[in-house]
C-alpha cells in the first residue's frame, strides 16, 4: 500500500466528511505552527503574516492561494517537518476596492526562509499580478535562503528578481520590510518602486554584523548596519520609515490610492473638495524676495495642493530636494522641488539620484510632473567631482528628457546655470514654464558673473568694492530682471504667486490628453 493509500485508508467516502476534513486542514494551515510561535512573534514587536495582510487589504477581501502547499525537500530533517504554506502566504484582495496582489513571509515557519516551494508560490503570484495588471505588495520578514535546500533556494531568488524586472514600470511594486531582509533577499526590494521600513524591527543588509566584523573588524549592531533610519537617511534604500507596523501599512494603503493599477491607465482621480481657483495669498509672504534667505519649500507645496495633503518620498534622504505625490483638483501629480532650507537647495549627487528615480516612476505610471525651482546650481567641490557629479547629475537630466507625461516647471526665485536647465527647463522639453516676478534666471549669480566679466575693471578701479557693487547692479538690471527670460520666450508667462494653484490646475487640465512618442528603440542607455 502506498503512502497516499495508507493516509486515506479508512477515510469515509461521504462528501460531507471529506469537506469537514478539508475545513480542518485549512484551519490548521491558517493557524500555522501554533500559539507559542505566534506569541514569540508578538514578543519581538512584530505582527504575523496574516495580521499584516488583514491590515493591508479591505476586510474580507483576501483570496489565498497555495494554502496547502508543502515543500518536498529531504535531508537535514526537512522530510519530517513539512508545514502548510511553506512559510509564505500568497493571494490577492482589494485596497479601497481595487485589486492588489500580496505575498507575506511567515517568520514563524523556518524563519520565513525561502525554499523551492516557497519561491514557486511567490513566482506564481508575481506572474498573476503582471497578467492582471494590478499592484504587487511584498511583506518581507525572512531570514534569506533556506540553507538546507542549497542552490534550489538561490535559484528561487533569481526567479523573483527576473519578475521584478519584467514588472518594472508595468505595475506598481511595493516592498514592506517588517523584519530581517538579508543577503540576496535584499535585492528584490531594491528592484521595486518603493521600500517601507519599521524602526527597531526591520533591517536590510547584504552581509550581517558578524560577517562585517570577521572581514573588516568593525563592530556594529543589526540596526546600526541596516536599520530603518540608516536606510532612510544614509543610504537612500528606504523611501519611508515608520515607528510601528500599523502606521507603516496604513501609509502603504495611502500610497496605493495615489498610483494607477498599471501603466496603461491614469492614477485614480477623486472629486475635488478644495476650490481650483483658490488664491494662495500667503505665498507672497512665505517666500522671501531676497534670494539669500531660506524658507521651507514644504510649506509652499502645502499651500498649493488639495487640502494641504501630500506624501513625501525619501523625506529624510537628500533633503535639498523634495519629491512628493499630491493632488491638484483631485488629480494626482508628482512634485519635484528645490529645498532652500537645506544646502540652499543646491543639486548634488544624492539629490540628483533621488529626483531622477522619482521622475522615472512618475513617467512610468502616467503621473504629471510639476517642478518648483529655487536652485543656485550644482554643489561645487572636489568630493562631488571625484564621486561623479557629472554622471549622477546626468541621471536627472536623462529622466526629464525621457519623460512623456505632462510637465510644468515654475521658477520661484533663483534658477542658475546647469541646474536651471536640468530641472525641467523649456529647452529640455517642459510643456509649460512659468515664473514668479521674483525670479532670477541666469548662468550664475550676479556677484559671480560680475567678478568674471568685469574682473579687470574692478581690479583697476580706485574703489574696487564700490565698482563691484555698481557692476553687479548693472548686470542684474541687464540680464537678471524677472522678465528677461519671458521676453525671449524661455518662460511662457510670469504669474502672480497667489494665482499659482489655479494656473497649475488649468494647465494640467489642458495637458491631460497629451500624447508623446519616443523614438523606436529597445531601450535607452541612461548614465549609471
Look at residues 100, 11, 105 and name the one whose alpha carbon lies nearest to residue 51: 105
CB atoms within 10 A of CB 310: 20
In whole angstroms, give the CA distance from residue 414 to residue 107.
Answer: 51
List the catalytic residue out of 351, 356, 419, 486.
419
In whole angstroms, give the CA distance from residue 375 to residue 393.
Answer: 14
DSSP class of residue 199 equals: T
Helix then strand count (H, E) for the chain reads: 22, 16
List the catalytic residue out of 150, 183, 272, 429.
183
In whole angstroms, give the CA distance from residue 369 to residue 337.
Answer: 10
Q: Is 183 a catalytic residue?
A: yes
Question: Hey, what's the cell of 446?
Answer: 550676479
CB atoms within 10 A of CB 7: 10
List the catalytic residue out of 32, 87, 184, 393.
184
List the catalytic residue out of 169, 208, 330, 418.
418
Q: Is 186 a catalytic residue?
A: no
Contact 102, 93 (CB under 8 A): yes
Q: Which residues on neighbouring strands pair with residue 145, listed in sequence order?
A: 114
Look at residues 76, 92, 168, 157 and name the one whose alpha carbon lies nearest to residue 120: 157
Q: DSSP string of 302-371?
A: HHHSGGG-EEEESTTSSTTEEEEEEEETTEEEEEEEE-TTTGGG-B-HHHHHHHHHHHHHHHHTT--EEE
Q: Is 184 a catalytic residue?
A: yes
Q: Is 418 a catalytic residue?
A: yes
Look at residues 243, 86, 237 and name the one whose alpha carbon lies nearest to residue 175: 237
In whole angstroms, give the CA distance from residue 50 to residue 28.
Answer: 14
* Catalytic center residues: 183-184, 418-419
Amino acid at each position: 500500500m502506498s503512502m497516499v493509500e495508507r493516509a486515506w485508508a479508512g477515510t469515509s467516502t461521504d462528501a460531507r466528511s471529506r469537506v469537514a476534513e478539508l475545513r480542518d486542514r485549512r484551519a490548521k494551515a491558517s493557524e500555522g505552527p501554533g500559539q507559542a510561535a505566534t506569541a514569540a512573534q508578538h514578543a519581538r514587536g512584530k505582527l504575523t503574516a496574516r495580521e499584516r495582510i488583514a491590515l493591508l487589504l479591505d476586510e474580507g477581501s483576501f483570496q489565498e492561494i497555495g494554502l496547502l502547499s508543502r515543500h518536498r525537500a529531504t535531508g537535514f530533517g526537512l522530510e519530517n517537518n513539512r508545514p502548510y504554506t511553506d512559510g509564505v502566504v500568497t493571494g490577492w484582495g482589494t485596497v479601497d476596492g481595487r485589486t492588489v496582489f500580496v505575498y507575506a513571509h511567515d517568520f514563524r515557519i523556518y524563519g520565513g526562509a525561502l525554499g523551492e516551494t516557497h519561491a514557486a508560490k511567490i513566482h506564481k503570484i508575481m506572474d498573476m499580478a503582471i497578467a492582471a495588471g494590478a499592484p504587487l505588495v511584498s511583506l518581507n520578514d525572512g531570514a534569506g535562503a533556506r540553507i538546507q535546500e542549497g542552490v534550489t533556494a538561490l535559484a528561487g531568488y533569481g526567479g523573483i528578481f527576473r519578475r521584478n524586472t519584467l514588472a518594472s514600470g508595468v505595475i506598481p511594486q511595493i516592498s514592506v520590510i517588517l523584519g530581517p531582509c538579508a543577503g540576496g533577499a535584499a535585492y528584490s526590494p531594491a528592484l521595486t518602486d518603493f521600500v517601507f521600513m519599521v524602526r527597531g524591527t526591520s533591517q536590510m543588509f547584504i552581509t550581517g554584523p558578524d560577517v562585517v566584523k570577521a572581514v573588516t573588524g568593525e563592530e556594529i549592531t543589526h540596526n546600526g548596519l541596516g536599520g530603518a533610519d540608516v536606510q532612510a537617511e544614509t543610504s537612500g534604500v528606504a523611501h519611508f520609515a515608520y515607528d510601528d507596523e500599523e502606521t507603516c501599512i496604513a501609509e502603504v494603503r495611502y500610497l496605493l490610492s495615489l498610483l494607477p493599477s498599471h501603466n496603461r491607465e491614469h492614477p485614480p482621480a477623486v472629486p475635488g473638495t478644495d476650490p481650483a481657483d483658490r488664491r494662495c495669498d500667503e505665498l507672497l509672504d512665505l517666500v522671501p524676495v531676497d534670494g539669500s534667505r531660506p524658507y521651507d519649500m514644504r510649506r509652499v507645496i502645502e499651500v498649493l495642493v488639495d487640502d494641504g495633503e501630500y506624501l513625501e518620498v525619501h523625506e529624510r534622504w537628500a533633503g535639498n530636494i523634495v519629491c512628493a505625490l499630491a493632488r491638484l483638483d483631485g488629480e494626482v501629480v508628482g512634485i519635484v522641488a528645490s529645498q532652500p532650507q537645506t544646502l540652499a537647495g543646491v543639486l548634488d549627487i544624492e539629490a540628483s539620484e533621488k529626483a531622477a528615480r522619482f521622475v522615472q516612476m512618475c513617467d512610468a505610471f502616467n503621473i504629471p510632473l510639476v517642478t518648483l525651482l529655487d536652485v543656485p546650481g550644482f554643489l561645487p567641490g572636489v568630493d562631488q567631482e571625484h564621486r561623479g557629479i557629472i554622471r549622477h547629475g546626468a541621471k536627472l537630466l536623462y529622466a526629464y528628457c525621457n519623460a512623456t507625461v505632462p510637465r510644468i516647471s515654475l521658477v520661484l526665485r533663483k534658477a542658475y546655470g546647469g541646474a536651471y536647465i536640468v530641472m525641467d527647463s523649456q529647452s529640455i522639453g517642459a510643456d509649460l514654464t512659468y515664473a514668479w516676478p521674483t525670479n532670477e534666471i541666469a548662468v550664475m549669480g550676479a556677484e559671480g558673473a560680475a567678478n568674471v566679466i568685469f574682473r579687470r575693471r574692478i581690479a583697476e578701479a580706485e574703489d574696487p568694492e564700490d565698482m563691484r557693487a555698481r557692476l553687479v547692479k548693472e548686470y542684474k538690471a541687464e540680464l537678471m530682471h524677472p522678465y528677461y527670460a519671458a521676453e525671449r520666450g524661455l518662460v511662457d508667462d510670469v504669474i502672480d504667486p497667489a494665482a499659482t494653484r489655479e494656473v497649475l490646475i488649468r494647465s494640467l487640465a489642458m495637458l491631460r490628453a497629451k500624447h508623446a512618442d519616443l523614438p523606436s528603440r529597445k531601450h535607452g542607455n541612461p548614465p549609471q
